[in-house]
Amino acid sequence: MPISSCRITQSLRERLSTSAWSPIMINTLFIVDDEYASRLKLNQLISALPEWRIEAKLRSGEELFQRLSESQPDVILLDINMPGLNGIDVLSQLNRQHCNSEVIFTTAHSRYAVEAFNGAAADYVLKPISLQRLQLALERVAERLRLKRAQTLPQTLISQVGQRMKNVGIEDIDAIIIDNGTQVAHCGSQTYPLDKTLTELEQQLPAHFLRVHRGAIINRLRLSEAERWLNGRLLLRFIHSELEVLTSRNGARQLKRHLKV
């Protein structure tokens, strides 16, 4: 039983009970700038944009390529005048490697703009950078990313039990839970085992699916209620299901941020 039956806020209840709100798609980015003050400024500006998450703050092109071997962000904010590889060199190398990240230059030098756009840079933002100008650049890129994802998102997931296979509609899923080492999709009163990991599913599912625990992904559009639990966690319930999902503390924070509570 929950420690407190008090619902978290009236605002959250209203958002969970209406279809009027839109889920936020979190986009990831790297900051690449050799100046600490510039990295700090960009960090401060981006902290005001809840749909963007900084995954790395790097000092050089060399550091960038080392980090890209581990993961690729949606966007790279790239300075031009840096020791070693300059920003234009970095862009050329990114293109040769067929990197899928969008590049926005953030620089004090206007003279490289033609080269930048010839290299398919998404935008060219001059320092000193205002929140309004950076937000405009990121909104343009976010729209491009949204269109790309819409073209590639699956409509169903495949569940196999023995020799039988079934297409599970993504929008019918309340949550995907790890149960005894198996990923299980919960759709109302029905459950379907899946052969993909939660990490793989997290990358493929639409923006309104959120990982609220290392063992759970939930569909925010099918939530009915969120209840306070121990240590800042939330107990989630769903419109068409008796399923209950307990978030982690970080998962609770993420959910509140996405609902703008």
Closest CA to 29 of 8, 53, 6: 53
Q: What's residue 153's pLDDT? A: 61
**225-248 confidence digits (pLDDT tens):** 899 899 999 999 998 889 999 999
| First-last CA distance in the chain | 25
Q: In Å, how far from its chain's centre is CA 241? A: 26
100: part of which helix (H) or strand (E)? none
**14-45 confidence digits (pLDDT tens):** 445 443 334 456 789 999 999 999 999 999 99
**179-201 confidence digits (pLDDT tens):** 999 999 999 999 999 999 998 88
Q: In Å, how far from its chain's centre is CA 80? A: 27
Q: Report yes or no: 228 and 4 within 8 Å, Cβ to Cβ.
A: yes
Closest CA to 227 of 78, 1, 6, 56: 6
The CB-based long-range contact list for 117-122 (8 Å cut-off, 24+ gap) reads 119/88, 119/91, 119/92, 119/95, 120/91, 120/95, 121/91, 122/75
- Measured CA to CA in angstroms, residue 76 lies from 52, 138, 254 at distances of 12, 11, 23
**% of residues, the chain, pLDDT over 90:** 63
CATH of domain 27-152: 3.40.50.2300
**Domain topology for 154-258:** OB fold (Dihydrolipoamide Acetyltransferase, E2P) (2.40.50)
- Measured CA to CA in angstroms, residue 170 lies from 51, 72, 156, 192, 254 at distances of 23, 25, 5, 12, 21
Residue ranges matching CATH 3.40.50.2300 in the chain: 27-152
